[in-house]
Amino acid sequence: MNAQTYVSELFSLEGRVAVVTGGSSGIGRGIATALAHAGAAVTVVARREAELRATVEGLTADGCRAAWVSADLATAEGARAGAEAAADAFGEPDILVNCAGVNLRPPMNDLGEDVWDTTMAVNLKAPFLLGQRFGPGMAERGYGRIIHVTSQQAHRAFVNSGAYGASKGGLESLARSQAEAWSAHGVTVNTLVPGFVLTPLNERLASDPRKVASLAARTLVGRNGLAEDFAGAAVFLAGRSSAYVTGQSVFVDGGFSVH
C-alpha cells in the first residue's frame, strides 16, 4: 500500500455528509473548509446569508460539495428548522460540528437574564437539540461523529466569562453524556477546545496589540490561534481513525492551557 492510500484510508471523508454550525466564519469556516477538502459534502448553518453564500461559493470553486442554510440557533424553532433544512441538502449527516457561538461578556454584576438565556440557547441548547435530531439516527446507522467547539473558559475564568464559560462547561458535560449514550453504536462525541483565536468573535480584544501580544506569550507555541489550526484535529475527529476517541476534550490552543 502506498503512503497516499494509507493516509486516505485513515483520514478521507469521501462519501460522508457533514453539518457545521457557525461554518460561515472564523473557526467554523476553517473546520467546514477542512472537512469539505477531505471529501465530505458540507452544509454550513448560520444566520447571515452573505457570509454563508461566500463560504459555499469558495468551497464549490475549489471543487468541494457544499450548501448553506440560514437559521437562527438562538431559538428552539430556529434550531429545529435549521436541522431539517440541513438534512435536506445532502441527506442525514454522518458528522455534526457545533461551532456556532456567542460571547457577550458583560461583567458579572451587569449579567442579566437576557444575555444568560441567549448565550445558553446558542452555545448549549442548540447543540443539544441538533444532537437529539441527528445522534439517534447516526447510532442506528452505526456511524457518527459529533464535534462540539468549547473554550478554555469551560475550564477557567477569563475576561468576564460569566454565562459564556458556564455554557461551554455545560457543553463539555453534554459531550460526555452524548458519548455515554451513543459511543457503543459507533458515534463518537468530542470537543475541540480553542485558546485565543483571531476571529470576528474577538474583534474588540484583537484591536489592542498589547493584549494580543500578551495572549500569544501565554501559549507555548508563541502565537495566537488561526482558524486553519483546527483543520487537522477536525478531520481526525470526523473520520474513521478516531473511532476509539470519545468523550474527550481536545485542546487546540498552542499550549495555552498548560502554561
Contact footprint for ligand NAP (CB under 6 A): 22, 24-28, 46-48, 51, 72-74, 99-103, 122, 149, 151, 194, 196-197, 199-202
Give the shortest CB-168-to-ligand NAP separation in angstroms.
7
| Minimum separation from the CB atom of position 162 to ligand NAP (A) | 13
Q: Which of 6, 143, 164, 244 is catalytic?
A: 164
In the complex with ligand NAP, the residue whose CB is nearer, 105 or 185, is: 105
Residue 136 is given by DSSP the state H
| Whether residue 164 lies in the annotated active site | yes
Nearer to ligand NAP, 100 or 120 (CB): 100
- Residue with smaller CB distance to ligand NAP, 145 or 168: 168
Closest approach of Cβ 186 to ligand NAP, in Å? 26
Reading the block at residue 84, the C-alpha cell is 431539517
> Contact 130/81 with Cβ under 8 angstroms?
no
Cα angle 159, 71, 151 (rounded to 5 degrees) comes to 25
Q: How far is the CB of 223 from ligand NAP (least distance, A)?
A: 13
Please choose, from the candidates 175, 193, 194, 192, the residue with its C-alpha nearest in 3D space to the C-alpha of residue 236. Answer: 192
Q: Which is nearer to ligand NAP, 138 or 147 (CB)?
A: 147
147-184: b or e for each residue (b if 16 or more CB lie within 10 Å)? bbbbbbbbbeeebbbbbbbbbbbbbbebbbebbeebbe
Cell 490552543, residue located: 253
Active site members: 164
